[in-house]
Amino acid sequence: MILDSILSLFHQQFVKQRFAIMFTVLVLCIAVDTSITAIADSRPNVVLIISDDQGAGDYGFMGHPHIQTPHIDRLAKESLTFTRGFVPTSVCCPSLATIITGLYPHQHKITANDPPLPKVPDEKPKGGRGSSPELTTQWNAMLDEVPTLPRLLASRNYFSFQTGKWWQGDFSRGGFTHGMTEGSRHGDKGLTIGREGLQPIFDFIAESRKQEKPFFVWYAPFMPHSPHTPPERVLAKYANKTDSPHVARYWAMCEWFDETCGSLLNHLDQEKLSENTIVIYVTDNGWIQSPSTAGFAPKNKTTPFDAGHRTPIMVRWPGHVMPETSNSIASSIDIAPTLLSAVGIPIPKELRGVSLLDNKSLESRKYAFGEDYTIRSQTLEDPAANVLWRWVTDGRWRLIIPRTYEATGPLKSIPSDKFLRPDLEATLISAQPMLYDLQADPNEDRNIAGAYPEIVATLRQELDKHWAPKVVIP
């Protein structure tokens, strides 16, 4: 009996202790969970504004004499604004892939706008983008192999919303939790954003707040990209400012796009979200409007020249980022590391950009690098087989190396691409380095490589250190 009583007492004590331990663990769990929630809730939201086909000078704050962009001008004034920004490639799809991954095209391998044509002509219906369904599927899946901003942000409780341009299948491919694009060539339903208002973004923001999630908005409208169809009320402002109706329409598109940015930024203000939202601005590639046609002039989009790659880059984060203009070189490869470090997510080791909020890194970086490719991919596996030119600039000097220069084997051959214009093909045939002094010759009219062999050699060395392509799969 006595033994039973003792055992019973021990048992009661044990149960009490066990309950006490469980209770303590439970309280700790709740405390930890609450603290995680508190951290998550305080994380800044992110709005990424990506203009589409806009010249770097085509804003009020960049000194354009006619184009009015009051809302983006205000953003520039409230931001750390880099007027010497670059994208590494001058075509939409690979440029957007760089923005979302923080990788150069030779790293993420999405080098072109469209997947390769099948080696054997395909009898099946086209799977989109003029290729086969199989190659298109493989093309889209290339984004699965690399880190993406939405996926990394989702690991920290973020909701993310894709709108506008999107080339890699439906929005979930990039890791977005919400989105508009269903998977056609470059954005389908997503392309209505901006042109038909911003309600889907406002609804997403409301949903994120309801569920107490920090949010990431990818605002990449099809603007000022063609079709240049501005509202008459905006076009009327520009019709008398130029002899070219094409130029007037492009200028009006820039203002119409600016209006949509104003709607987005005003919404953040009205919802009292501006203080805790990082806004980043960039263009996917440059544009010089042809005065005589609806298309673009030479030496910008799709080319290795400066105007195809220049963009202002802005970072606005009230209370954290001092508004000022910076002369440092910035690149769209910096956007991912900037955002990841700002929200406290470790930066994947393959990312080679720097945080734009890290002055030391910015000051120690001397060069921007880039690479331009065939518009139609030649092969999925090997970026080197697709490259046409590589370039490097220190802001003043700009060196462009055609793939054919001092090349042997497959690099010596020029890929067939119906989009490669004769003037650009000529640079590959001549196979000579092209050096320009951007201060004296901003339009890159005079190749002075022959007069400055030392500068060519120095820049070439830097370029080769960055990436020296070797075709491994001809």
> Residues in the site for Ca ion, rule: CB under 5 A?
52-53, 92, 284-285
Residue 463: burial class (beta carbons within 10 Å; 0-12, 13-18, 19+): buried
Q: Can you say whether residue 287 is alpha, beta or left, with left for phi > 0 and alpha for psi between -120 and 50 degrees?
A: beta
* Shortest separation between residue 286's beta carbon and Ca ion, angstroms: 9
Q: How far apart are CA 189 and CA 441, in angstroms?
A: 42
* Shortest separation between residue 266's beta carbon and Ca ion, angstroms: 25
Render 435-462 in DSSP notation, one character per residue.
Answer: EEETTT-TT-----GGG-HHHHHHHHHH
Please say which residue, 284 or 306, places its beta carbon nearer to Ca ion. Answer: 284
Q: How far apart are CA 458 and CA 438, in angstroms?
A: 17
* Helix pair 199-210, 245-270: axis angle to 10 deg: 20
* Shortest separation between residue 279's beta carbon and Ca ion, angstroms: 20
Please say which residue, 52 or 306, places its beta carbon nearer to Ca ion. Answer: 52
* Shortest separation between residue 92's beta carbon and Ca ion, angstroms: 4
Please say which residue, 187 or 469, places its beta carbon nearer to Ca ion. Answer: 187
Q: Kind of pairing, strands 159-164 and 178-179?
A: parallel
Q: Where are the beta strands (DSSP E) in 39-101?
A: 45-51, 80-86
Please say which residue, 148 or 332, places its beta carbon nearer to Ca ion. Answer: 332
Q: How far apart are CA 313 and CA 318, in angstroms?
A: 16
Please say which residue, 165 or 178, places its beta carbon nearer to Ca ion. Answer: 165
Q: How far apart are CA 79 and CA 108, in angstroms?
A: 29
* Shortest separation between residue 257's beta carbon and Ca ion, angstroms: 12
Please say which residue, 367 or 391, places its beta carbon nearer to Ca ion. Answer: 391
* Shortest separation between residue 362's beta carbon and Ca ion, angstroms: 26
Please say which residue, 91 or 400, places its beta carbon nearer to Ca ion. Answer: 91
* Shortest separation between residue 166's beta carbon and Ca ion, angstroms: 12
Residue at shortest CB range from Ca ion: 92
Q: How far apart are CA 446 and CA 378, in angstroms?
A: 31
CA–centroid distance for 223 within its chain: 15
